[in-house]
Amino acid sequence: MVVDAQLGQWGDWLFGSALAVYVLAMVLHAVEHGLLRRPEAATEQARVPVAAAGAAGTGTPGTPGTDTPATTDDGGPARPPRSRAERFGRMGVSLTVLGFGLHLAMLVVRGFAAQRVPWGNMYEFTAAICLVAVGAWLVVLRRRPELRRLGVFVLLPVIVLMFLAGTVLYTRTAPVVPALRSYWLTIHVSAAVIASGILLLAGVASCLYLLRAAHETNPARLAWTSRLPGADVLDRVAYRATALAFPIWTFAVITGAIWAEAAWGRYWGWDPKETTAFVAWVVYAGYLHARSTAGWRGRRAAVINVVGFAVMIFNLFFVNLVVTGLHSYAGVG
């Protein structure tokens, strides 16, 4: 199995560039927040879909495949000129798209360099999760440009995770151990990556929901959250993301069990990784139940969703780095 070091080098370079671009995008989004002088007006804009849709046009100018014109002066009611804040926000989005492109290229290059799917170790796995999270975020933006102001909060965890991936978790391009050499690596890990990325978005939305809801019950508190979309919108984003990711996560757990049957001799053995995956699954099932139980719908459901994401992160870091499980080729016990 040939490992192309030159390509691997390119992958590292792309990773660094993507991270830098994300940081820049986050800064631009933060400037947008800072420039929003009149939070009240901003809120209204974000909450009324028609106004927001008109004002924001398309959130992703310059995206390949974006065919909606970026300009909005196609007749219609007269609209105030684009504010400075908005210009910064839109630049933030453009950079996010650029970062996503570099990030995607990084994983593709890495895959070619190692001649396998690019999620064979924690570095690649974390990078792939972040890619899915940013991708999911761009999909949300495309459908709901008025949510643009969440950009800072989506990019923040992505940047933190990628920073950790690039420093603590960094691994040179290499083929995987025999235990991982199976088509189940592609199936099981892809599903886990996709679910985790989308759940990251859901977790961010639920966190913001909690802050925003606290502000809505007592407007004196957390005044800055008035620049965010309304609590109901945040709740809906969290729910839809979770409802989409949950079956994918279920699929990931099931295919993991099938793989474990072929690799370790049993489909379920309460290995730390399996246990934590199960705990996360149960927590998210709890979230979906809470959404249809009176008295649990709003804040409690959001707390459960945040707990769910905390368990996912715990699974990624603690279980991989601290607890020793079967996730390496085991010798005799």
Partner 1 sequence: MTSTLPQASAGDAGPPPPSRPGRLRRALALARNTWRGLTSMRTALILLFLLAVAALPGAVLPQRTPSPNAVDDYFGQHPTLAPVLDDLGMFDVFATPWFAAIYLLLFVSLIGCLVPRSIEHLRGIRTEPVAVPRNLARLPHHAESTSDEDPDAVVARARRRLRGWRVAVRSEPGGVRTLSAEKGALREVGNLVFHLSLVALLGGIAAGELFGYEGQVIVMADGSEFCNSGIYAYDSFRPGLQVDGTGLDPFCLTVDGFRATFRPDGQPDSFEADVRYQDTAAVQRGDGVWQEHDLAVNDPLRIDGERVYLLGHGYAPRFTVTFPDGQQRVGLVQWRPVDQATLLSEGATKIDPPGVTDEAQRRRSQLAITGLFAPTSSGGGLVTSVFPALNNPEVAVDVLRGDLGLDSGRAQSIFSVDQGMVEQGRLVRVARENLRPGEEITLDDGTRVRFDDVQNWVSLQVSHDPAQTAVLLAAIALLGGLTLSLTVRRRRFWVRAVPAGPTVPSTTDGRTVVMLGGLARTDRAGYGEEFGRLAAELAPRRTGDAGEPDTEVTGRTVPDPAVPEEVAGDVPAVADDRTAPAREARDDDGEDDDGR
Report if residue 244 touches ligand HEM, rule: CB under 6 A: no
Report if residue 292 touches ligand HEM, rule: CB under 6 A: yes
With CB under 8 A as the contact rule, the residue among 278, 299, 313, 317 that binds partner 1 is 278
Report if residue 69 touches partner 1, rule: CB under 8 A: no
- Note every long-range contact of 317-326, with CB atoms under 8 Å and residues 24 or more positions apart, other chains counting: 317/164, 319/272, 319/273, 319/276, 320/122, 320/273, 321/122, 323/272, 325/271, 325/272, 325/273, 326/264, 326/269, 326/271, 326/273
DSSP 236-293: HHHHHHHHHHHHHHHHHHHHHHHHHHHHHSSS----HHHHHHHHHHHHHHHHHHHTTS
Residue type, 330: A
Q: Which two tokens stand for residue 98?
A: 């650029």
Distance CA 302, CA 232 (A): 11
Report if residue 293 touches ligand HEM, rule: CB under 6 A: no
Distance CA 293, CA 95 (A): 41
Q: Which is nearer to ligand HEM, 280 or 316 (CB)?
A: 280
What is the nearest approach in angstroms of ligand HEM to the Cβ of residue 289?
A: 6
Report if residue 167 touches ligand HEM, rule: CB under 6 A: no
Q: Which two tokens stand for residue 28?
A: 């631009």
Report if residue 172 touches ligand HEM, rule: CB under 6 A: no
* 323 interface partner picked from ligand HEM, partner 1, none, CB below 5 to 8 A per type: partner 1
Q: Which two tokens stand for residue 241?
A: 């993301």
Report if residue 84 touches partner 1, rule: CB under 8 A: no
Contacts to partner 1 from residues 99-158, by CB under 8 A: 144
Q: x/- string (CB under 6 A) for ligand HEM, residues 262-291?
A: -----------------------x--xx--
What is the nearest approach in angstroms of ligand HEM to the Cβ of residue 288?
A: 4
Contacts to partner 1 from residues 221-260, by CB under 8 A: 233, 236, 239-240, 243-244, 246-247, 250-251, 254, 257-259
Q: Which residues bind ligand HEM (CB under 6 A)?
A: 285, 288-289, 292
